[in-house]
Chain A
């Protein structure tokens, strides 16, 4: 079974340019997360979707970041315009959350490493 697929793996852009990341979760997983991870830090939650609904986007810097999960399957995360401080690894994860139970097992993609020059 295919895991969480993310693209691109690496992206180098100049500041003020736009960038977009794509994520395809594991089939059947209704919950999708976008995390940002800086070197030496743990992943920081940006946004969480349950199906197509963003149930928690309180950590998403909405002035420059946007995300969507059309049809409740794959998702895109966009930054426009990018700033130097946005250089990080953007991780997508998926899980199945239902029936009041949370197994806590997130399946992560390999991440998209962004460098802003």
Chain B
């Protein structure tokens, strides 16, 4: 089993839609979780951290479910500019070892 797993998609949605991605992790000792965004042929960049209580940044909401060992990212009112690959990242066992999931590709269409 991979340490971090994501559905690669692609998710094709119309502008204005709400879309959600999930990510599961295998190491229950992991404490820190993040979502990164990667545009085509560019380097990954931090989108947001995921806190235990859940957190929101504008149209983006991240949540953590420790019991089921998954994190989620919700994007409301999708924009064309949201088209990218979203990478789930876990600090495995809280060791500073940051492991990336495969990434989920989002394509927002007019």
Contact = CB atoms under 8 A, between A and B. Distances in A.
Interface of A: 31, 33, 35, 40-45, 48, 50, 55-56, 91, 97, 102-106, 108-111
B97 A106 contact: no
B interface, over-half SS: strand
Contacts of A109: 43
Nearest to B97: A56
A17 B89 CA distance: 33
Given A97-B96, A102-B32, A42 B43 contact: no
Interface residues of B, number: 25
Contacts, number: 58
Interface of B: 4, 6, 8, 32-34, 42-46, 49, 87, 89, 91, 94-103
Contact of B96 (A41, A48, A105): A48
A103 B95 CA distance: 12
The 10 A-B pairs with the shortest beta carbon distances in the complex, nearest first, are A42-B100, A108-B43, A104-B34, A105-B46, A43-B100, A42-B103, A42-B102, A97-B96, A102-B32, A42-B101
Nearest to A100: B94
27 contacts: A31-B96, A35-B100, A40-B8, A42-B4, A42-B6, A42-B87, A42-B100, A42-B101, A43-B44, A43-B87, A43-B100, A44-B100, A45-B99, A48-B96, A50-B96, A55-B96, A56-B95, A56-B97, A103-B49, A104-B49, A104-B91, A105-B34, A105-B46, A106-B44, A106-B46, A108-B44, A108-B45
